[in-house]
Structure formats: C-alpha cells, structure tokens
Amino acid sequence: MKQLVLDFPIQLQEALIIGKTHRFRTPKAEFTNVVVTGLGGSGIGGSIVQNYVSDKIKIPFLVNKDYSLPAYVGKQSLVIVCSYSGNTEETLMAMQQARKKRATVVCITSGGKIAEIANAKKMDCILVPAGMPPRSCLGYSLVQILWVLNHFGYISNGFEKEIKASIRQLKSKGNDVQTKAMVVAKKILGKLPIIYSAASIEGVAVRFRQQLNENSKMLGWHAVIPEMNHNELVGWRDDASDKVVIILRDADDFDRVQLRMEINKKVFKKYKATILEIYSEGKTYWERMFYLIHLTDWVSVILADLRGVDATEVKVIDSLKKSLAQS
C-alpha cells in the first residue's frame, strides 16, 4: 500500500493519458441531470468531482451510492458507472436500472461484468489498469469522470493543466509530505479521530475517513462546517482527551466558515481534545485537493504501521461479499 500511495503522481499521469486518448462512442448530447453511481474507493472520486463542479454545471449532479437510482433518471440522464472491479453488486444493479430507463451510460472500470455488459451493448467503457485495491486507484477513476464531463461539454479541459501542475507539486514535495504525515499520524495514534472540513471540500474529508477505516483499521467520523454548528457542536460536553480533531483547511474556504472554525477550536480545546490543522498547498483547486488527499493517504498507511496492522487487507469486507454471494 505504501508503494501505491508513493506512486499516486504517476497514476495521475497515466489517468490523464487514458482519458484523453479514449475515443467515445457516444456523441455529445444535452442532458437534464448527471448521476455518478459507485461505492467505496470507486465512488469517492465522484464525491470529490461533485464538489469541483458545484459552481460549473448548471444541471443536477448526484453521486449515487446505492442499489437503485433516483426516480428522475430517464432518457435525458447521463449515468456514469464507476466500479473498479467491475463486479460491485450495487453498481451492477444501478447500471441495469439505468439501461432499463434508457439513460446514456458511460462506464469506468478495470474489467469484470460491467466491462462485459458495456462491450456487448456497445456502450462507452473507459478501462483503467487492474489488480490493485480500489481505494488506491482514486486517481484513475476521478480523472476519467472529468474527461467524461469534458466530452459532453459540461466542463472545459482546464483541469488537465491543473492536474499536471499537481503532479509536479506532489513530486517536488514528496519527502515533505511524508514528514508532515508522520507528525499527524503520531498525534492520532491511540485517539479517536474526528475530521472536520468546509462543506465545499467534504469529498476530501470523506476520503480521509475511509482511508483511516480501510488502511489504518480504525473508526472515526467526519462532519462539515457550517452544518455541524447546528447540531454536532452541542455534543461537545464531556472530556474529549481521548479524541483528536483534524481540521482540513483550504485557502478558498468561505470567510464565515473560517471564522466558525476558529470559534469551534475554542470549544474543542475546552474539552481537552487534541487539535490538528492540515492546510492545503498549491495555486489551483486540483493542486490543493490532491495535496490534501496525498498527505492524508500517507497518514493512513503510516498509522497502519504504528498500529501494527496490514494496510492492504480487508478480510471483513471479503467475508461480507462471500456471505452475500451465498445468499
């Protein structure tokens, strides 16, 4: 897993080439909504892209993480199917539903049943390299979603330049990122992590939580500001010396959200929680987001070492899938 995290900049390079060279079968068209359907490591790219396009796409953009699709999906819908393995049962069922509803379907996968169906039905299917844990392939899936949106005219190809700048930044800051990640990991060790961010970058916060779950084999939760100021903040009443608050911060966080963060820190400190702040770095959106993603990915694998667990194994998920297959 460490090698896969280390190779993230290389993955982004490959992902750009894969998407740019894909020859779409589906002609450009106008839709009334876009739905990305996928779960776990395959679906988180959609959540991060959703944050990115919130001020760019003028039609509804939904990330679906369930067996079924919203009732409004139909002939004028674009459904982007994301399953790294190509065999995720929830995503397969959503894909079949999209086809029945006569939506336009574009698939992003490394193979499996989804690739088979896509090829048989002559649907667009962008293939990414196989053989890795889905959570380690965020770069592949996320970048392909951007290329799909670009093909249909919803975003410009400006993201390509930004991602290339991100790759250069990650390569130049490699040792610095790992050093910072070690400091953060040591402060999280032995405590319950609580991740907060602005709502505008929630996808990155979710990604961090999921990486702590799968790589570090530990529980934790996340919430966003300002929403948590209307509910969760009231829950801060007891001694929290066994908890560590990690606030993900970005230069583009709304000024009132930044003010709320500063006020919230006083509440967390009152109840003796450890407070960590991780600031994004970079000039562009994707530079800053990929910096945060890369740094927190490193935190998760370093924590796995500190906790003496295997970052790669997910036996409990494998057992769940086996039980489902037998039912």
Residues annotated catalytic, as ranges: 214, 230, 321
Q: CA-to-CA distance for 148 and 152, rounded, in angstroms?
A: 7
Phi, psi of 106 (to 5 degrees): -125, 130
Beta strands in the chain (DSSP E): 33-37, 61-64, 77-83, 104-109, 124-127, 192-198, 221-225, 243-249, 274-279
Rounded (5°) CA angle 264-269-272: 140
Instruction: Please report the DSSP string for 15-75 in residue order.
Output: HHHHHHH---SSPP---SEEEEE--HHHHHHHHHHHHHHTTT-SS-EEEE-SSS--TT-ST
Query: SS3 for 223?
Result: strand
With 0-12 CB in 10 A as exposed, 13-18 as middle and 19+ as buried, what is 312?
A: middle
User: Is the distance from CB of 44 to CB of 81 less than 8 angstroms?
Assistant: no
φ and ψ at 78, to 5 degrees?
-105, 120
- CA-closest candidate to residue 140, choices 109, 107, 116: 109
Question: Residue 35 in contact with residue 148, Cβ under 8 Å?
Answer: no
Residues 82 and 46: beta-carbon distance below 8 Å:
yes
Residues 249 and 120: their CA atoms lie apart, in Å, by 45
The H or E element that residue 144 is part of is helix 138-151
